[in-house]
Amino acid sequence: MNKVIIPALLGLLVIGGTGLVFGDDDEDERRGWWGSARQDVSPVDQALYREECGSCHFAYQPGLLPQDSWRRLMAGLEDHFGENAELDSEARGEISRYLEENAADRSSMWRSSGFASHSGSLRISDSPYFRRQHHEIPARWVENNPKIGSFAYCDTCHTTAERGNYDEDAVRIPGVGRWDD
């Protein structure tokens, strides 16, 4: 019995110790438990969505749009913000289900609740919450920044966006640097 438990405990100590030692280098990490990054929307966990949608653009987490917006967006893939992004009905159904079930208004993650109310636009960047969060960012830093060009590229500045972490401490704006509120 001890043969299993002792190495397991040692393993935990090592993992925990690593978090303590290296966690201090990154404010973002320090806030998490056991060195894991804090999340404010649930990370993407459907491989099909990551493959089909994430091959063209950042795989926006389902918790960034309310259910009704995802439903309308997935019903109009033939004209997806000016592009044709049609899927076969099987893939479309599976992805729609995933997005709707984990939509902002059905998620308990704190930042998702901000995205739960929406203007009706299908763009995440048009939501009142998104606008409030970015209202201090001048156009020259993002839209007119040749290294970025659009608020659609979340992970260009939010270095931990992929993990569902949009904390401003992890923001690095290309050509500008850290964002300090």
Partner 1 sequence: MPMRMLLAIGVGLAVSAAQGGSPQQIQSAYIAQGASDFSSERGAKLWLREGVEGRNCATCHGGNPSEPGQHARTRKLIDPMALSASTGRFANLAKVEKWFKRNCKWTWGRECSAQEKSDLLEYLYRL
Q: How far is CA 25 from the centre of its chain?
A: 22
**Minimum Å distance from CB 78 to partner 1?**
7
Is 180 near partner 1 (CB under 8 A)? no
Could you count the other beta carbons within 10 Å of the beta carbon of residue 180?
7
Is 122 near partner 1 (CB under 8 A)? no
Is 82 near partner 1 (CB under 8 A)? yes
Query: How far is residue 25's CA from residue 77's CA, in Å, rounded to a whole number?
Result: 43
What is 17-47 written as a DSSP string? HHHHHHHTT-HHHHTSGGGPPP-SSPPP--H
**Minimum Å distance from CB 143 to partner 1?**
13
Among 56, 75, 101, 144, the residue binding partner 1 under the rule CB under 8 A is: 56
Contact range with partner 1 by CB under 8 A, out of 80-88, 97-105, 110-118, 158-166 = 80-88
Among 87, 122, 137, 176, the residue binding partner 1 under the rule CB under 8 A is: 87
Burial 43-68 (b: 16+ CB within 10 A, else e): ebebeebeebbeeeebbbbbbbbbbe
Which residues in this chain contact partner 1 in the complex, by CB under 8 A? 56-57, 78, 82-88, 149, 152
